[in-house]
Amino acid sequence: MKRLLFLILFSFFLISCSFAQKGTTTQHDTQMKWWREARFGMFIHWGLYSVPAGTWNEKTGYGEWIRTSAEIPLETYEQFMPRFNPVGFNADEWVKAARDAGMRYIVITSKHHDGFCMFDTKQTDFNIMKTPFKRDPMKELAVACEKYGLKFCFYYSIMDWHHPDYLPRREWEKDRTVGDADYNKYVAYMKAELKELLTQYGNIGVLWFDGEWEPTWNQTRGLDLYNYVKGLQPSILVNNRVGAGRLDMEGLTKQGMFGGDFGTPEQQIPPTGLPGTDWETCMTMNDHWGYNSNDKNFKSSKEIIRMLVDIASKGGNYLLNVGPTSLGTFPRESIDRLRDIGKWMELNSESVYGTNASPFVSTPWGRCTMKSVKGGFRLYLHVFNWPANSQLLVGGCLNKVNKAFILSDKNHPALKTVRVDDAIIISVPSAPPDSINTVVVLDFKGAPDFTDPPEISAAFSSLVDSLKITLSSPRPKVEIRFVVSDTVKQVDMGGVLYQGPFNLYNEYVVNARCFRDGKPVSGTSSRRFELKVPYAARAVSELKPGLSYRYFEGEWDNMPNFKKLQQWVFGTVDTLTLAPKKRNENFAMYFFGYIKVPKRTLYKFTLSSDDGSKLFIDDRLMINNDGLHSMLEKGMETGLNAGYHAIRVEYLQRTGSAGLELYIESPGVPKKLVTKEMLFHE
């Protein structure tokens, strides 16, 4: 079900991307070529926020959002300017560090949400030329990127907490009135700055927008800005955050909405990639984008290298962040990791640059990337889990191996291979040459001939009384055989021949495999379906429509203990809604009552929120979506008998956008919002 959901979202993204592309597909592919080949870039978050370095009023958890997170008045924040003097900045050192790490492009914050401009702009005095530094680091970086052969790219925030015409104001800025602010004037200001960036710094590879989620920005403005930027530099690439349809941290774009040239998953790697479209995961090395002197929670070099390969194996790019200090230097921890990545890339970069996504559904030993070569193709097996028996098994490829070797061994001595059914078994050394990631290469001649295990599909992953199962394979001229059992099993010719959908009536594992001419031509796929015993309905009477709610104010990073809080407001609502809230930030609510379901069956509830939320059904925690995050969706399946069931939804909002939605679906009934007709209270 999860995979089906992602495929649907991917389709939505493809629709939106096609809407954004200018000219022919060939022209678009030509523009995307360097970016698709690069696979690895450096993100740099650098600005005035590096002066407080994450600390304010004895709290040390801030980053580039410090001005609004710590509620620093505008006049106070501007006092960081005289203290911003990055005398240690050296553009050559930065770019060389990126190049030596194997990165092919740099994206740097020309202006973040705080509105401070890191370049020589004539549109505002709130810029780096008005600090003691009095140099334009963007100009110097553009020159250095040209020197070292990297693409130079700009990040630019649509949101601006400083400009007098930007709307909306921060909720806590009680003394900063809207006055005669004109958002159209702000847009004109933004375009004037973008013109400076795109006419004074040479050819720019990417314009990476952000801060597009506030209600003043919309679809029309996004498309207009995209066209404006393309008019200044037709070959520039623009991310999907130029529009107003991004699906939060997933980086996808809502159906039918404008989606730029590529998607932008943030701090996450899509489980199955985004097949058929372009995407780039941006990620921090530690827990902050901007410099925080107390944040030492850095990912290890091993984690980063494996993430790079994981992303490449799914067809994406990796944009890895560095947050420089106010002196203009990279943190030592970042330098160390860049050096380690560079050592690995020096021997193995061929397995990353210009590669395509893995052709395999499953690679239990690690990850796989793929590349076309003259007369055939090449598989790069990124082995994280070295086989204890020195036998590396690669299932799902029917081509005859031309040669196998270890990429980091410059002499490329051949490794012995044998075939068993659809699997290739490679004899490898007893110990891995690289414990982080040893790349084993398989060379083949001719067109790829891959076969994946069958897809085991069902509307749900659980059942109450029965569940319809469908098996499928896109491969021609194969038959599918399956075994239903208590455990995962290898399927042989003794398995049942699949002739159409069938029903499960209990908790089982479905195992399936493809065969041709009596021989297996795929591995076995397995999927367990869980039996849910329905919860008994509640005996209740004299219920009224709607839910009861309680409203509280305060600052929490996780769901508070409501029993210990003073409630500010209470009452009832027709349906689940945040409408009774008294402010947009720093509040919490919980809703309680009953939900009525029409029949005994399996139900799936999906809770979507920004920030945290929890769902309880019949006093059992069903969904825990707690913590600070943007709009995040989680689901859970359960069995319910017909009738009334107790329901409670808890919600937490810290800062930024607020949102809360609850969906329900069941066999034969598609996903829909829980409506007021289903909700009751005493």
Read off the pLDDT of residues 174-209 as tens digits, 9 standing for 90 and up.
889 999 999 999 999 999 999 999 999 999 999 999
The two three-digit tokens of residue 677, written as one number: 């007709």
Domain 544-681 is of which CATH architecture? Answer: Sandwich (2.60)
Identify the residue with better confidence: 199 or 478: 199
Residue range 320-326: average pLDDT?
Answer: 98
The CATH code of domain 2-349 reads 3.20.20.80
The beta strand positions in 323-406, using DSSP E, are: 366-373, 376-383, 391-395, 401-406
Of the pLDDT bands very low, low, confident and very high (cuts 50, 70, 90), residue 25 is confident
Residue-level pLDDT at 8: 38
* Closest by CA position to 360, among listed 418, 422, 269: 422
Q: How many CA atoms lie within 13 A of 30 on its CB side?
A: 8
Identify the residue with better confidence: 75 or 250: 75
Residue 148 DSSP label: H
Residue range 142-165: average pLDDT?
Answer: 98
Within this chain, domains 366-445 and 455-531 share the same CATH topology: yes
Q: Which of 8-17, 52-61, 65-74, 383-392 has the lowest mean pLDDT?
A: 8-17
pTM for this one? 0.83
Residue range 618-646: average pLDDT?
Answer: 94
Q: Which of 7-21, 415-429, 450-464, 575-589 has the lowest mean pLDDT?
A: 7-21
For β-strands 547-553 and 569-573, DSSP reports them as: antiparallel
- CATH value of 455-531 in 2.60.40, 2.40.320, 3.90.320, 3.40.30: 2.60.40
Three-state SS for 640? Answer: strand
Residue-level pLDDT at 17: 41
In angstroms, the CA 388 to CA 472 distance is: 34
Mean pLDDT, the chain, whole residue set: 93
In angstroms, the CA 280 to CA 263 distance is: 6
Whether 629 shows a pLDDT value over 90: the answer reads no
Residue-level pLDDT at 657: 78
* pLDDT, tens only, 429-445: 999 999 999 999 999 99
Q: Does residue 385 contact residue 366 with C-beta atoms inside 8 Å?
A: yes
* pLDDT, tens only, 260-313: 999 999 999 999 898 888 999 999 999 999 999 999 999 999 999 999 999 999
Give the 3-state secondary structure of 532-584: CCCECCECCCCCEECEEEEEEECCCCCCCCHHHCCCCEEEEECCCCCCCCCCC
Residue range 510-524: average pLDDT?
Answer: 91
Residue-level pLDDT at 11: 41
**Superfamily designation of domain 366-445:** Golgi alpha-mannosidase II (2.60.40.1180)
Domain ranges, ordered by start, for the chain:
2-349, 366-445, 455-531, 544-681
